[in-house]
Amino acid sequence: MGIFEEKTYQVKCSGLSNEGQGVARIESDREKENGLKVFVDDLLPGEVAKIRITSREKNLAHGEKVETITASANRVVPVCAEFNKCGGCQIQHADYACQLKMKEDMVRSCLYRIGHIPLSDLASVSESILGAPDQFFYRNNVQYPIEYSHAKKSVNIGLYEKKSHKIVEHAKCYLVHPSAEVIRGVAQIYFSDHSRANIAKYLRHLIVRVGIFSKEMMVILVCSRPVKLDAEDFVKTSEKAMSEAQIGMHISSIWTQETKERAKKGFSDVWTNVWGKPYIHEFLEHRVFRISPDAFFQVNSKQTINLYNKVKEYLRHDGALPRLLVDLYCGTGSIGIFCSSVCHHLVGIESVESAVIDARANATANYLENAEFFCGKAEDYDFGAMMPDAVVIDPPRKGCDEKLLRELLHLAPTRIVYVSCNPSTLARDLHRLFQIQEEGSVRYGISRICPVDMFPNTSHVETVVLLSRGK
């Protein structure tokens, strides 16, 4: 019970946070909370509601909605019955047009507040957000937590409730590809059989990776100890279930990942390919990509094509094709290989060794003779006398190391394309870059910005930014 929960305040939601909560300010001249920013679940921009404060920090608070006074015309009934419990979706209660606008506003707000970029400048370079072709059943990668009951000797496999580690009972998830949900259902029954308790009690997560276009699937069982799985029987059971569900997919690979709940010093995960091939494939237009179990690949295959085409467009923005394109944080090489037709030579840098192996295999599979991939951290890599015309960076959510930003200014390509999955760290990195460049003679400015909705019904958004030298 919070100490602030008895008093209510009437507020109007002004926007959406990065976590999908409504953002409002308390406006009352008679209250000491006047001007206090409050984050509230289930509140859409423009809505007026009565709220109760549940927790408070120095300059902000969190609250819960008590009563809706004026509902948004964009509010819809979520298709998922567990939306209010499950932590997988944040904005399924808004229609898609509203979702897209909220994400555009979020990107603009971060670049203005954190990046200190004037709104007039943003307006002149911003493009409309690219909406996704599918709002549901688009995820090609999902990680389900597994909960084992010692009393029942059975497992529960699902998704976590919001802000908890409690698994939500749900009939189906509307974000993941239906084949993954079939595997989840099979695994729940299969490992709840008492004869398999010696396996089930060590299972921690079920990961399913899907080639939306290739129709290949990979199943990964994350466990705390080595397990002996009758993979042939599991595949046979799963294929039968997918046939009955009329889903034209097939399992190509099964792995176990032995990990420790609390990592011991010197212990690293043990990966074992227990059945089938060690990888699956995915097609993106005219390119084919090999995906290993621990390699990064975009979670929305159809929208990835639109994202990468936008990167390709920005790389040839001034009409001149790059002689040398450097792809940093390249993963399996998907961006660079997809865009290889607009450059003369491609170099990719990635810190995960298995991803580099995949990238090299992908270059060979796509008959590229102008591509090289190297293993190393982007911020520590010795570029030597390399003089790229263009650089693509697609860092993790934490963004770029300042050391890398300085190296980019040293390399001084004519254009930099920054692909970001986190508007906050994107804005921070751009601000840092513009501050650092004041120390030297190389200058970059923003030529284009395009948000891309890779994650419908969630608060996440991808953004592509073109930085041009001399702007």
- What tens digit of pLDDT does each residue of 140-163 get? 999 999 999 999 889 999 999 988
Q: How confident is the model at residue 56 (pLDDT cuts 50, 70, 90)?
A: confident
Q: 346 with 370: CB under 8 angstroms?
A: yes
Helix (H) or strand (E) holding 392: strand 390-393
Label residue 6 by pLDDT band (50, 70, 90): confident
Token pair belonging to 331: 């993963």
Task: List the one residue out of 399, 408, 291, 285 whose CA is nearest residue 340.
Answer: 285
Pairing of strands 60-70, 37-40: parallel
Domain-ending residue, one of 256, 284, 312: 284
Which residue, 44, 40, 146, is CA-closest to 95?
44
Give the pLDDT score at 447: 97
Mean pLDDT of 71-90: 93
Residue where the block lists tokens 């008492």: 194
Tally of domains in the chain: 3
**CATH classification at residue 43:** 2.40.50.140
b/e sequence 310-327, b meaning 16+ C-beta within 10 Å = bbbbbbbeeeeebebbbb
Q: Are residues 431 and 461 both part of a single domain?
A: yes
Q: Within this chain, do residues 226 and 338 fall inside the same structural domain, yes or no?
A: no
> Dihedral through CA 234, CA 281, CA 159, CA 5, nearest 10?
170
Neighbouring-strand partners of residue 219: 208, 254
Nearest to 168 by CA among 87, 91, 223, 78: 87
HEC readout, 316-354: CCCCCCCCEEEEECCCCCHHHHHCHHHCCEEEEEECCHH
pLDDT attached to residue 2:
46
Between the two ends of the chain, the Cα-to-Cα distance in Å is: 54
From 64, 70, 34, 63, select the one nearest 49 (Cα to Cα): 70
Residue 260 has a pLDDT of: 77
Whether the predicted pLDDT of 34 surpasses 90:
no
User: 324 and 459, same structural domain?
Assistant: yes
Tell me what pLDDT residue 170 has.
Answer: 85
- Both 65 and 214 in one domain: the answer is no
Give yes or no: residues 335 and 215 share one domain. Answer: no
Computed from CA positions of residues 246, 247, 251, 254, in that sequence, does the dihedral angle turn out positive or negative? negative
Query: What's the pLDDT score for residue 19?
Result: 82
**What is the three-class DSSP state of 53?**
strand
- Check whether residue 263 and residue 316 sit in a common domain: no
Query: Residue 241: pLDDT above 50?
Result: yes
pLDDT band at residue 16, thresholds of 50, 70 and 90? confident
- What are 336-391's pLDDT values in tens digits? 999 999 999 999 999 989 899 999 999 999 999 999 999 999 999 999 889 999 99
User: Is 267 a residue whose pLDDT tops 80?
Assistant: no
Q: Per the domain annotation, does 367 fall within a domain?
A: yes
Position 30 confidence tier, pLDDT thresholds 50, 70, 90: low
d(CA 229, CA 275): 10
Same structural domain for residues 313 and 462? yes
Q: Are residues 122 and 112 in contact, defined by beta-carbon separation less than 8 angstroms?
A: yes
Which range of 28-42, 44-58, 448-462 scores highest in mean pLDDT? It is 448-462
In-domain check, residue 394: yes
Range of the domain at 184: 141-284
Closest CA to 83 of 466, 336, 457: 457
Give me 447's structure tokens: 């030529």
CATH code of the domain in which 264 resides? 2.40.50.1070
Amino acid of residue 116:
H
Are 451 and 306 contained in the same domain? yes
How many angstroms separate the CA atoms of 304 and 319, rounded? 23
CB 41 within 8 A of CB 78: no
Active site residue 421: yes
φ/ψ (deg, to 5) at 427: -65, -40
**pLDDT at residue 265 greater than cutoff 90:** no
Task: Report the amino acid identity of residue 350.
Answer: E
Do 260 and 319 fall into the same domain?
Answer: no
- Which has the higher per-residue pLDDT, 94 or 19? 94
Which of 80, 98, 339, 421 is catalytic? The answer is 421
Same-domain check for residues 397 and 321 = yes
pTM of the model: 0.92
Q: Which residues contact 250 (CB under 8 A, 6 or more apart)?
A: 215, 216, 217, 239, 242
Q: Work out the pLDDT band at 320, boundaries 50, 70, 90.
A: confident
Average pLDDT, rounded, for the chain: 93
Condensed to tens digits (0 to 9), the pLDDT of residues 181-220 reads 999 999 999 999 999 999 999 999 999 999 999 999 999 9
Question: If 0-12 CB within 10 Å is exposed, 13-18 middle and 19+ buried, where does residue 266 land?
Answer: exposed
